Amino acid sequence: NKERAQKILTQLNQLKSTVESWTKLKKKEEELCGLLSLMEEEDPRLLKDISRDARTLKTEIDNLELATVLSGSYDRHNAIFSVHSGAGGVEACDWASMLLRMYLRWMEKRGFKTEIVDVVAGQEAGIKNVTLIVSGDYAYGYLKGEAGVHRLVRISPFDANKRRHTSFASVDAIPEVEDVEIEVRDEDLRIDTFRSSGPGGQHMQKTSSAVRITHIPTNITASCESERSQSRNKEKAMKVLRARLFELEQKKKKEEIQKIRGNLERIAWGSQIRSYVLEPYQMIKDLRTNIETSNIQAVLDGDLDMFIEGYLKKN
């Protein structure tokens, strides 16, 4: 079986890469210990260099330890990542756009490539929902724990009376699964084309280049309007649809066909995984790990490692 052989070969190469990484770190540790033992008297400059290298080594070890935690079948895959505004009207749409900015900054810091394939703007501000493809090693593994409802409490900039508002938005992450067989019959698909509302200039406005594909049996949809070419948009929308159908099949196996897709917990009170309180005090707290910080600006600027890594290590 050629496909199975290729899959095993890929896994073998990944294991070899992990072993090589640990071997390199072990060698670095031995070199640092050797430098310390050879230092006959305290040399402030050399000691400073060794301390810096030791901190770098610790960070590399922490990252590699986390990579060994990400051992799920699809953890190394790219991710289909989405944000949806929930209860809260224009506030929720603005909150969804804040979350998108936060995650895009984190993804950039991590070296992931991102491509927004579908976005629906809010009527007054922000976004109703957005879907993007996040490409890079372990993209899904890192992001899978971010799925859930995120709650914001702040003085609304859209309220003339400056009252405190609570808003909700949900995040979802599923693996991109190009190497998995998902049977999708042409007769089960409805394909609609429409004019793109995104960037791309006059060409995209004059032609119906955007594509929405609906899987009729499940009513699952996927859209793409990021390309000038209708065929390219169809290809990318199909990629997202296949990933969503694959997730549905996985949930069926695990949950005995309960209400499955489009059925994330209601985006409101009681279902959130993390709260972001900007008023009357400043605190971001993960309700699953109890990890919290008052440095809200750093988090909203993409400093998410403490939450993402904390959750992964706990689980």
DSSP 80-137: EEEEEE-TTTHHHHHHHHHHHHHHHHHHHHHT-EEEEEEEEE-SSSSEEEEEEEEEST
- 190 forms beta bridges with 214
- Give the separation between CA 179 and CA 73, rounded to whole angstroms: 12
pLDDT of residue 200: 44
Tokens matching residue 157: 């900039």
List the one residue out of 107, 164, 109, 112 whose CA is nearest residue 136: 112
DSSP 22-65: HHHHHHHHHHHHHHHHH--S--HHHHHHHHHHHHHHHHHHHHHH
pLDDT of residue 41: 66
pLDDT of residue 203: 42
Contact 259, 243 (CB under 8 A): no
In the predicted model, residues of the chain with pLDDT beneath 70 are 3, 7, 40-42, 179-181, 197-207, 253-270
Q: CA torsion 197→202→203→204, rounded to 10°?
A: 0
Contact 233, 211 (CB under 8 A): yes
CA distances from 268 to 48, 79, 166, 271, 275 (A): 51, 25, 9, 6, 12
Contact 222, 213 (CB under 8 A): yes
- Give the separation between CA 205 and CA 225, rounded to whole angstroms: 11
List the one residue out of 301, 298, 293 whose CA is nearest residue 274: 293
Q: What is the pLDDT of residues 185-243, one digit of tens each?
A: 889 999 998 877 654 444 444 567 889 999 999 999 999 988 888 888 998 898 899 88
CA distances from 205 to 117, 123, 161, 202 (A): 16, 19, 39, 5
Instruction: Give the containing element (helix H, strand E) for 289.
Output: none
pLDDT of residue 30: 86
Contact 236, 218 (CB under 8 A): no
Residue 115 contacts by C-beta under 8 Å, 6 or more apart in sequence?
132, 133, 135, 226
Tokens matching residue 103: 């995650």
- 222 forms beta bridges with 213
Task: Tell me if domain 79-176+264-314 and domain 186-255 are identical in fold.
Answer: no
pLDDT of residue 257: 35
Give the 3-state secondary structure of residue 304. Answer: coil
pLDDT of residue 67: 76
Contact 100, 149 (CB under 8 A): no
- 21 forms beta bridges with none
- Give the separation between CA 89 and CA 304, rounded to whole angstroms: 26
pLDDT of residue 113: 95
pLDDT of residue 89: 85
pLDDT of residue 199: 45
Architecture of domain 79-176+264-314: 2-Layer Sandwich (3.30)
Strands 164-175, 148-155: pairing kind: antiparallel
Question: Domain-by-domain residue ranges, the chain?
Answer: 2-69, 79-176+264-314, 186-255
Residue 222 contacts by C-beta under 8 Å, 6 or more apart in sequence?
118, 131, 212, 213, 237, 238, 240, 241, 244
Architecture of domain 186-255: 2-Layer Sandwich (3.30)
